[in-house]
Structures are given as C-alpha cells and as structure tokens.
C-alpha cells in the first residue's frame, strides 16, 4: 500500500511507495516531493519541546522557526500549483503539530496534483515582493522552495541530534522505508 493514502488520518510519507515506470518531468518532481516528505516525516517525528526550542547559536533560528519556514516554502509551491500569487512576508502562527501536519499534507497534495495530470512546464511561480508582482517558471520552484525545504529538513535533523534526540536510524532515506 502506498503510504500517501493511509487510512485513519495517519500522516503521509512514513514510507515512499514504488517508483514510476517512466521518467518524465512530472514523475521526477513527484519523487523529489516524496523524498522530501519522507525526510521531513522522520526529521520531525518525536520532536520534544527542548528540540523545538533548540538553536545552534544565539543569532540562528530555533527548530520551531525552521519548521515555520519549511511550511511557508511548501505553501509557496502550493500557491504556484494552484495558479495563485504568493504574498512574501506571510507569517504563520501554529503549533508544532499543526506545522508538521500541514506541511506533510501540502506535500501530499502537491504530489497528488501532479500525478493527476498537472504539467509542471505550465506552472508559473507568482510572488508578490512588497507590492511588486513577479513571475518565474517552475524551474525556480525546484531550485528555490523545494530545494530549500530539503536543506532545512536536514537542519532539523542536525538540530535534533545536537539537542540529544537523534533521527530514527531505522529510517532509510535511500530506500524510503523504515527498516
């Protein structure tokens, strides 16, 4: 069973299902989203208050702040896939559980939209920078918010290790499975 469709409200991406039979722009992006979802699922699984408040230095973000940023990155991509303009500077006020759940659900919805026929070559990333509307091809979503979300998920993994709560060693990112 593909973990993206678990029953009972379970969160997606505790494992990654089978890969596509063909390579296309869409199947590659879907797999990238699934890889991010798997990493994010396990990077955030079992975080404690001490992990969420951890900052590697005084002038850096806490892990909870990083989770807010990752959510915003997934929100930006969702706006693009829905052909809406993303307002930069958006602030979110949610609990850890809400950030985790909504981020994973955003990633699932992205993968679903693309697997249901959305052509990434036709997606435009629209952003409003301080009142100025700007548009970019989907390429910018790949090297921008999607790659940045992967980067920051690694930051959560490092922070949790430093705060004494390492990543589940049974989560095998190469296989996309819990061993």
Indicate the burial class of 76 (C-beta count within 10 angstroms; 0-12, 13-18, 19 or more): buried
CATH number at residue 80: 1.20.120.450
The pLDDT value given to residue 91? 87
CA distances from 152 to 4, 60, 82, 84, 85 (A): 22, 13, 24, 24, 23
- Average pLDDT in the chain: 94
CB contact at 8 A, 114 and 30: yes
In a domain, 40, yes or no: yes
**pLDDT tens, position by position, 103-123:** 999 999 999 999 999 999 999
Residues 6+ apart with CB under 8 A from 147: none
Residue-number span of the structural domain to which 91 is assigned: 12-178
Please state the domain count of the chain.
Answer: 1
User: What is the rounded distance in angstroms from the CA atom of residue 152 to the CA atom of residue 5?
Assistant: 25
Report if residue 5 sits inside a domain: no
């Amino acid at each position: 069973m593909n973990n993206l469709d678990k029953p009972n409200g379970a969160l997606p991406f505790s494992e990654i299902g089978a890969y596509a039979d063909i390579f296309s722009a869409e199947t590659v992006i879907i797999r990238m989203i699934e890889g991010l979802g798997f990493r994010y699922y396990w990077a955030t699984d079992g975080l404690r208050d001490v992990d969420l408040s951890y900052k590697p230095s005084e002038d850096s973000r806490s892990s909870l702040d990083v989770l807010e940023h990752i959510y915003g990155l997934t929100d930006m991509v969702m706006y693009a896939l829905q052909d809406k303009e993303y307002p930069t500077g958006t602030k979110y006020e949610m609990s850890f559980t809400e950030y985790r759940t909504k981020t994973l659900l955003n990633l699932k919805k992205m993968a679903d939209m693309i697997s249901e026929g959305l052509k990434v070559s036709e997606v435009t990333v629209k952003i409003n920078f301080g009142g100025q509307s700007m548009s970019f091809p989907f390429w910018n979503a790949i090297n921008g918010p999607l790659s940045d979300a992967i980067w920051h998920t690694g930051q959560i993994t490092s922070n949790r290790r430093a705060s004494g709560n390492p990543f589940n060693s049974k989560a095998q990112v190469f296989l996309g499975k819990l061993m």
